[in-house]
Structure 1
């Protein structure tokens, strides 16, 4: 098989990797950096900037610059620029295409295949969107793999014996906790939980709010109402957060951040680590509930975990490490690079698929329960969360009205008993049901989840053998022909 790359598509930064002589290697981008900012900027002359150059000009081009697009994957996101409507998939695809080009330049060969990572707690719609972005970038996405699982693979390739591992993955936009067992070349995921709306961006936002309020108190100007000033503040707040992981106190100085009728205004503020940790305390508390859930689902107590791995740049924050160590009752391990291990794990999975790595096996799980809606807003589970994938299961249902000829199947993902409280993945209708009194027909609904965690559903009337089947596609997912058209557009746009 041709070369397969591993892509850690991150909220803040993305990383690419490959297998070289049986070992994972991180590939530098064209600037020689291993981290490529997940940023896309559209210039008025039609050029598209990606990565560091896009992020660097965000202050002066904030309305045409897209950061943290990963947080919009699977959502109804649209940005209209210069007469073109861009979806989150299209913007993400531009980042992935640049990663593909950087890999080809480094390797000196064409790259056609990839393994791409996603947060473990991503929904089916979000996974589909990432896979679509990969296709739009010109890549054949062989596998979608969960980020904590990729990190465990990166650790497991060097591990001997048997260990229970907790992987805490706190990136720029998402948080996952996975419990895994590594034993004699088998990496088995036991349970996972998480929060798709918790990450480094939220730590930045807390700091931005604090600084903006201080500035408003001193100058009676709200910086959050000024797009350019806010972008300047966002960049310096991110830098301050990173610096506070090393220094106990930092100063932020932004001259000419804004102006009023009295003249230009300068921002100067000093923040110490103690203040920062008080500000982010509510975010630190949000780390614990998913960790408790994952351990409970795995049937384990914190003291039974042998090793705690940290993944994602936000785990470098000392307060994050302290919160995790306090909950787990043991020090965190620093045996893997928190920023690169997800990408190297993706490369290891690529190596397994290509047959280059033969002594490692991965057993992953589905992160959320899948089922259908029934009468009275009830949610009936068919595949429970933390079931090993690929998998398939079914349940038999019946009609609710006499002589009912059509049955609507509403597919949901979540943990609530109430259908309306869960994530709707899609609907389809099974027609041609045998006319009979209600409760008599037998409708078998089968759910299947592939190795990428993507769902297919089939329904069949067991009396007439009429059937209907779909692979779940959220309402806003493009068709195959639309994907082809958008992919050609991106290829022309980026070259």
Structure 2
């Protein structure tokens, strides 16, 4: 059975497969490898997808829609003629078109796929993507993060090893991932991004500035006129170079000439470029790495062709970024390679992928300082923890004689819990007692399949309650689900109980007991640092501090202190 790789993009989508000769990108019925992610409905109610639909955006704007990927995971609905669609349904129509093209190309049914998603997509958006695939008749073997797919394409293509910063600026989303490729392992150190920053926003900025200059609002223009203005600005964005462009613009009641210059475009793009800098800096900061350690900066996504974006990145890192693979198709190539790995094609060496949790997972706790503000968010698994991961936190009852404790599960970064994404909840019974006396351990265990297992253990009774939050139901077979849960169960112990960590703590205690004065105080400080790292339960941080402590203790054991 052939598994295809799909890049489901905001502006364009593409698919491919791995063969003995490498990646083959699958052409659509028009012979093109890029299919515009545009859906329309004709006067007979028939669905139109791709380039034909995109050409109808001007004259049939009420029956055509683009850039709906930004609405994935929401309840927003789009009306096309007399029909109404969700973003999931619209995406399924694009996926069905790609599936049909692949079947025509291969001459056989296609029912399985690896689909790429922005690294910063939350669980709801990922679930919506899988549901879209199911509606299109595809079983999703895996969702792969777009920057990871791009890194696979670059890593396997060039056989390079090192630390890569992947910047993926597409039509509607911006993704940043910091990955390391070594010994056949692709390890994600950190990811960040902006789900509402892409090439479409640069065009929006161009249109808004033109309208502002002529003291017009969007509502002042007819839909057809406004759509035509958008297309002219999109074309100018693509053509802009050292030579100025002179455009004749229809603004309804008047026709004007507008000169598009590099300086003008730079001025209106500055706010967007500043927005792009934030997730880049955040990913590097989260990974705890200095920019000088990055071996290569790789550009992915059609919007990275913008000279001003490349220039900004070059200034940030003091070097030219890499972009020798086609930024429009590199994600589809990576997805196809991953599909080939899943088929265990003999022409491919296996690559082990490690990923991170892109959002913080936590629960709500009482805000005693100002209850009117609502509950605070207590992070349990923090963003950019390497998955699979299992972390436990202790909480207590908030009221006298409380008999039930409800653990609500959220995803996000906001200090106030209600501003984060609700995922589910678990209620447990506790014996009545004065507030604060009854305590429970709340353990979150998360893996790259999207399984979040919540275990709550009541200390006084010893009883454990369990709840599985699966935002991609049906994506895993029961056997695969049990296998994933079995792996997670192996992680369900506190890091301080691990054999290596216990041995290191005992070694530190032995040295402390045999020392006096400044040497003893120094050892105590070192061991406190290690214990604090263990309490935070971040595997990457523990490994780093563990190495530092081992080096310190080894140095102390080899020296004579007086």
Do they superpose with TM above 0.5?
yes
Kept after mapping to 2: 8 A contact 1:144/1:453:
no
* Partner residue, 1:236: 232
TM (normalized to structure 2)?
0.77
- The residue aligned with 2:422 is 425
Match of 2:115 in 1: 116
Cα deviation, 1:367-393, whole Å, max 9, x if unaligned, reads 121111111122211112111223333
CA distance in 2, matches of 1:118, 1:29: 21
Give the C-alpha shift of residue 448 in structure 1.
3.1
Picking from 390, 394, 397, the partner of 1:396 is 394
> Measured at CA, do residues 127 and 270 of structure 1 come closer, stay the same or move farther in structure 2, by a change above 3 Å?
same
Structure showing greater radius of gyration is 2
Local SS of the residue matching 2:292: helix
1:273 matched to 2:269 = no
Question: Is the CA contact 1:426–1:472 (under 8 Å) kept in the aligned structure 2?
Answer: no
Taking the aligned partners of 2:211 and 2:11, their CA distance within structure 1 comes to 22
Structure holding more strand per residue: 1
Aligned-residue RMSD, C-alpha: 2.3
**Aligned with 2:298: secondary structure?**
strand
Aligned to 1:492: none
Indicate if the aligned counterparts of 2:40 and 2:80 stay in contact, CA closer than 8 A.
no
* CA spacing shift, 1:78–1:223, aligned 2, 3 Å: closer
Q: CA–CA distance in 1 between the matches of 2:252 and 2:160?
A: 63
**Structure 1 residues 8-407: aligned runs within 5 Å:** 8-21=7-20, 23-81=22-80, 84-160=83-159, 162-214=161-213, 216=214, 225-244=221-240, 246=241, 248-253=243-248, 257=250, 259-260=252-253, 265-356=254-345, 357-376=348-367, 377-407=375-405
Separation in 1, partners of 2:180, 2:423: 34
| Range that drifts further, 15-24 or 319-328 | 15-24
Stretches of structure 1 that go unaligned for 5 or more consecutive residues are 481-495
Q: Deviations over 1:13-46 (max 9, x none)?
A: 1111111116222111111111111111122311
Do the aligned residues in 1 keep the contact of 2:221 with 2:251 (CA within 8 Å)?
no
Report if aligned partners of 2:406, 2:425 keep a CA contact under 8 Å in 1. yes
Residue 401 of structure 1 contacts residue 437 of structure 1 at CA under 8 Å; is this kept in 2? Answer: yes
* CA–CA separation in structure 1 for the residues paired with 2:448 and 2:80: 36
Displacement of 1:468: 4.8
Change in Cα spacing, 1:452 to 1:23, as seen in structure 2 (3 Å) is: farther
Alignment match, 2:446 = 449
Q: Give distance in 2, aligned partners of 1:453 and 1:325.
A: 35
Q: Which has the higher helix share?
A: 2
The CA deviation at 1:198 is: 0.9
Deviations 1:168-219 (A, max 9, x none): 11111111111111113211111111111111111000111123334x35xx
Number of residue pairs matched by the alignment: 464
When normalised by structure 1's length, the TM-score is: 0.87
In the alignment, is the contact (CA less than 8 A) between 1:116 and 1:141 conserved in 2?
A: yes
Unaligned regions of 5+ residues in structure 2, if any? 368-374, 475-562
Structure-1 separation of matches of 2:218 and 2:172: 25
Highest relative contact order (Cα 8 Å, sep 6+), 1 or 2? 1
Give 1:406 deviation, angstroms: 2.7
Distance 1:454 1:247 in 2: 51
| 1:7–1:16 contact (8 Å) kept in structure 2 | yes
For residues 194 and 442 of structure 1, what CA distance do their matches in structure 2 show?
37
- In 1, the alpha carbon distance for the partners of 2:403 and 2:394 equals 17
After TM superposition, give the deviation of residue 333 of structure 1 in Å.
Answer: 1.2
Deviation at residue 238 of structure 1 after TM alignment: 1.0
Distance in 1 (alpha carbons) for counterparts of 2:234 and 2:82 = 33
Separation (CA, whole Å) in 1 of partners of 2:236 and 2:396: 59
Cα 1:204–1:252 change in 2 (3 A) is same
Residues 317-374 of structure 1: per-residue CA shift (max 9 Å, x gap): 0000000010011111123221111111111111222212333221111112111111
Name the SS of the counterpart of 1:157 in structure 2: helix
**By how many angstroms is 1:249 displaced?**
1.9
Query: Structure 1 residues 351, 440: closer, same or farther in 2, change over 3 A?
Result: farther
1:138-181 Cα shifts (integer Å, max 9, x gaps)? 11011111111110010111233531111111111111111111
**Greater Cα offset, 331-340 or 438-447:** 438-447
Q: 1:50 to 1:457 in 2, by over 3 A?
A: farther
